[in-house]
Amino acid sequence: TIKERIEAGDLEGWDDPRAPTLASLERRGIRGEAIVSAMVELGTSTSNVDLAMDSIYAANRDLIDDGADRLFFVRDPVEKSVMMGPGAGTPPVHPDHEERGRRELRVEGAVLVEPGDVPPNGKRVWLKGYGCVRHTRDAFEFTGEDIDVVREEGVDVIHWVSADQNVPTRLRTMEGDVSGLAEPGIAIHEADDVLQFERVGFARLDRHDDAETVTYFAHP
């Protein structure tokens, strides 16, 4: 069936992310050790058993999480001007490894966020690595509040990219391709690097094309 779909052009090849193949898992950044580990966890049995993808994902997450740099990737971006805020945000490269430094995301007038993350007028959100903003008159007004508003008042934390500095990026998934914008730091990463798009999931960087960077979704 897969061969027929490839010949018909429905799939691009055996490693298409929509194909249920080992080649597809490898292209997505899932390591062979994770598959073996999940199989070993099943144990031996005389009955038929199913190898759950969740088990493979959990095993792979254990292998890649520590080394995966964090990045922001915004789908269906909505632009919001920012008033009275700092000139840049500095989220960490990895939350568990402060020694790996921080990314610098310039804010030169506006940011881009996902539509579902825009709060009602008068409500606040925390731009991760930047600070608290209030949605006012279709813009974000920096409030200068402490991170305590997240813990004590339940203010949502969201990801974002600069409206002026970003990289067109395609995320290839099992359900189809998703287009969006990644922060500029994605440009320093090379093919086969595994990254975590914060609040989206882990992804393997496939290549940098002239028009966009192409990544493959691994798992949440």
176 pLDDT band, cuts 50/70/90, is very high
* pLDDT tens-digit readout, 141-170: 999 889 999 999 999 999 999 999 999 999
- Return d(Cα 123, Cα 111) in angstroms, integer: 17
Q: List the end-to-end C-alpha distance of the chain, in Å, as a whole number.
A: 28
Ramachandran quadrant class, 137 (left: phi over 0; alpha: psi -120 to 50; beta: rest): left
- What is the pLDDT confidence band of residue 124, given thresholds at 50, 70 and 90? very high
What pLDDT, on the 0 to 100 scale, is given for residue 47? Answer: 82
Average pLDDT, the chain: 95
| 91/160 Cα distance (integer angstroms) | 11
Q: Up-side HSE of residue 207: CA atoms within 13 Å toward CB?
A: 4
**200 closest CA partner among 68, 16, 35:** 68
Pick the closest to residue 136 from 76, 88, 85 (CA basis).
85
Chain segment 20-78, per-residue pLDDT in tens: 999 999 999 999 999 999 999 888 878 887 888 999 999 999 999 999 999 999 999 99
> For the whole model, what pTM was predicted?
0.93
Residues 6+ apart with CB under 8 A from 81: 109, 110, 139, 140
- Number of residues written out for the chain: 220
User: DSSP class of residue 54?
Assistant: H
CA distance 205 to 196: 10
Rounded Cα–Cα distance for residues 94 and 196 (Å): 9
Of 173, 127, 188, 187, residue with least CA distance to 19: 173
pLDDT, position 131? 96
pLDDT of residue 149: 94
